[in-house]
Amino acid sequence: MQQILNYINGSFQAANSGEYLDNYNPATGEVYSLIPDSDATDVELAVKAAKAAFPSWSALTREERSEHMLNVSKRITERLDELAEAESTDNGKPVWLAKRVDIPRASDNFKFFATAILHDSSELHDTDGKFLNYTLRQPIGVAGCISPWNLPLYLFTWKIAPALVSGNTVVAKPSEITPMTAFLLSQICDEVGFPKGVLNIVHGLGGKVGSAITEHVDVPIISFTGGTETGKTIARIAAPMFKKLSLELGGKNPNIIFDDCDLENALKTSLNSSFANQGQICLCGSRIYVQKGIYNEFKTRFVELVKEMKVGDPKSADVKLGAVVSKAHFDKILSYVELAKQEGGTVLCGGKEAKTDLGGWFIEPTVIEGLDEQCRTNQEEIFGPVVTIQSFETEEEVLAYANGTKYGLASTVWTSDLTKAHRVAAQLHTGIVWVNCWLIRDLRTPFGGVKQSGVGREGGWEALRFFTEPKNVCIPLH
């Protein structure tokens, strides 16, 4: 059985404890690899290595750091098939999805920040012809990067790339549920000759490794993506230490469909925005609101299309949904379906395990109608292939529904009235609004949520700003 290893100070090593955790293939339900059960002592070694590497890494020119990043990007692309297979085996997502989205995006993350940094420039202010102010942006030190299991390499590299290219060194922890592509990434970084200690990857549990990174006095900056409750824990620990924080957390995103929309496009895209990656994308629209005039038509056709979505072997090219990530998550999702029934909902399709002969954790894509806005099913993040659907009459009404949760990550609006689109977009309390499209991600744009969906923004200059500290220097001109 394959053993994943930590990557610390340029060497591959087991956890200090010598213990391993089981790593499951969600499609078969079987353990297929082992991951180091690391603890604070492994994190200590990683932070020490990252701290020691910081002076020389941050002293490289941006072109030199950029070159390292571009080499990684290239190797990820060269190993596309292998990485996509690994991501699928680890996470349960269809191989075609990993090949089309996750792995190319991981390569793009390195390429994007490698080139963006070359175009960054300092601010300069001439103060009444008497003084010159210029603002240096300096790397901070050892950055802690903690990522979740839903888009493993995609989100892991979305943090690591801007952190490194800005001149920081990194101690990173992937989710213990999906560690494989992070392990392969450490091999790639080693192959392309990353200096020792610049990137350190420590595998293991959030409560041991993640918290040790968060608590470490020599890690002044934390970039975290994951659940809102974990985000709160991290914020509580980091606050007294005045750490710089970026928290990308949960969502309960509204998908608003007005009478005057392009119905075909809204239907087709809503299938994707509801169920892509088994609904395990923080940006999925899990609450569908359809205006009264087209509600019945939309609902009927949507449910028909959902019933046609094939669930099964992630290796199969015609499968739309693979397995959900773990047995615990499978149970959690189905428990929400039961809750929805108790709360008065009607399951229009799905709502149960999808039978396969693979042995893993598959759930039928599920649509639920007839729930009150305030019920738990409509308020809490399910993070699986389950959406609720409800009609509305007025713009005001749907805005109240859309904004009526503690989350504020993303929203989608379907209308052919441009004025309405602008008006509604401005009033949605979310960090991202898509109009007549979904999940178009331009890496230059700010990414993140409001309310309990997080603090701070990733993407483009926002990420490069986050991973650097501005220092203003003022000098008399005469």
Which segment (145-153, 294-302, 413-421, 466-474) binds ligand NDP by CB under 6 A? 145-153
Residue closer to ligand NDP, measured from CB, 91 or 415: 91
Q: Does 269 bind ligand NDP (CB under 6 A)?
A: no
Q: How far is the CB of 22 from ligand NDP (least distance, A)?
A: 13
Q: Does 148 bind ligand NDP (CB under 6 A)?
A: yes
Q: How far is the CB of 386 from ligand NDP (least distance, A)?
A: 14
Cβ–Cβ under 8 Å, residues 257 and 266 = yes
Q: Does 230 bind ligand NDP (CB under 6 A)?
A: yes
Q: Does 251 bind ligand NDP (CB under 6 A)?
A: yes
Q: Does 279 bind ligand NDP (CB under 6 A)?
A: no
Interface characters, 430-449, with ligand NDP (x: CB under 6 A): -------------------x
Catalytic residues: 248, 282
Q: Which of 211, 253, 286, 430 binds ligand NDP (CB under 6 A)?
A: 211
Q: Does 227 bind ligand NDP (CB under 6 A)?
A: yes
Q: Does 205 bind ligand NDP (CB under 6 A)?
A: yes
Per CB under 6 A, which of residues 152..181 are in contact with ligand NDP?
155, 173, 175-177
Q: How far is the CB of 476 from ligand NDP (least distance, A)?
A: 45
Q: How far is the CB of 466 from ligand NDP (least distance, A)?
A: 14
Cβ–Cβ under 8 Å, residues 92 and 180 = no
Q: Total number of residues binding ligand NDP (CB under 6 A)? A: 33
Q: Which of 38, 150, 291, 412 binds ligand NDP (CB under 6 A)?
A: 150
Q: Does 37 bind ligand NDP (CB under 6 A)?
A: no
Q: Which residues pair with 307 in a beta bridge?
A: none
Q: Does 383 bind ligand NDP (CB under 6 A)?
A: yes
AA letter at 312: G
Q: How far is the CB of 398 from ligand NDP (least distance, A)?
A: 23
Per CB under 6 A, which of residues 2..21 are in contact with ligand NDP?
none
Distance CA 3, CA 31 (A): 11
Closest-CA residue to 283 (of 256, 249, 310, 309)? 249
Q: Which of 96, 149, 275, 467 binds ligand NDP (CB under 6 A)?
A: 149
Q: Does 207 bind ligand NDP (CB under 6 A)?
A: yes
Q: Which of 162, 220, 226, 460 binds ligand NDP (CB under 6 A)?
A: 226
Q: Which of 161, 172, 234, 387 binds ligand NDP (CB under 6 A)?
A: 234
Interface characters, 329-368, with ligand NDP (x: CB under 6 A): ----------------------------------------
Q: Rule CB under 6 A: which residues touch ligand NDP?
A: 146-150, 155, 173, 175-177, 205-207, 210-211, 214, 225-227, 230, 233-234, 248-251, 282, 381, 383, 409, 449, 453-454
